[in-house]
Amino acid sequence: MRLNEPRIAPLAPEDIDPETRSRLGDGPLLNIFATLSHHPKLLKRWLVFGNHVLAKHTLSPREREIAILRVGWLCRSGYEWGQHVAIGKQVGLRPEEIDRIREGPDAEGWSAHEAALLRATDELHADSFVSDATWKDLAGLSDQQKIDLVFTVGQYHLVSMALNTLGVQLDPGIEGLPE
């Protein structure tokens, strides 16, 4: 974690306005949502987009998590990394694959398609652009999937910036970036 304490403390559930709290559901309140509850209008609109990227997009869950984990690693976002390690495992990523995501697209063991996903993520992170060569390597994706990939990387780059800067701390049971 970049910060040892939050710059904006997460709100306690009872301090969140009832409309926002109902939008967040009855389950445990993650620190990201408790922190962003300081800005209910932004949170309301961001949840719609975030829900598309996380649950309603055209990438497979595996493809999505490979890209998200790579973004979290590149942005050095302990919160993002930790949350999506757990999600990645739920969608079938093996621990050695999660470890290999840190090494990037040139690590041994990736399929050509997975290496292209990682390379596109690296290029978007570094240059806000996917090279022609990498775009060609993404030929197995539909146009909608390519658009969803770009927006997934962008969404999680934005979220990583917010988490890092606001100092959102890890939720219980979640481990951050490995040393």
Residue 6 lies in a domain: no
d(CA 169, CA 151): 25
Domain count, the chain: 1
pTM above 0.85, yes or no: yes
What's 50's DSSP letter? H
Residue 9 lies in a domain: no
CATH code for the domain in which residue 28 is found: 1.20.1290.10
Residue 2 lies in a domain: no
Dump pLDDT digits (tens) for 71-92: 999 999 999 999 999 999 999 9
**142 φ/ψ angles, rounded to the nearest 5 degrees:** -70, 170
Task: Check: CB of residue 136 under 8 Å from CB of residue 46.
Answer: no
Residue 4 lies in a domain: no
Dihedral over alpha carbons 76, 23, 55, 10 (to 10 degrees): 10
Residue 65 lies in a domain: yes
Dump pLDDT digits (tens) for 120-164: 999 999 999 999 999 999 999 999 999 999 999 999 999 999 999
Domain of residue 108: give its range.
19-179
Per-residue pLDDT at 174 exceeds 80: yes
Residue 38 lies in a domain: yes
Per-residue pLDDT at 179 exceeds 80: no
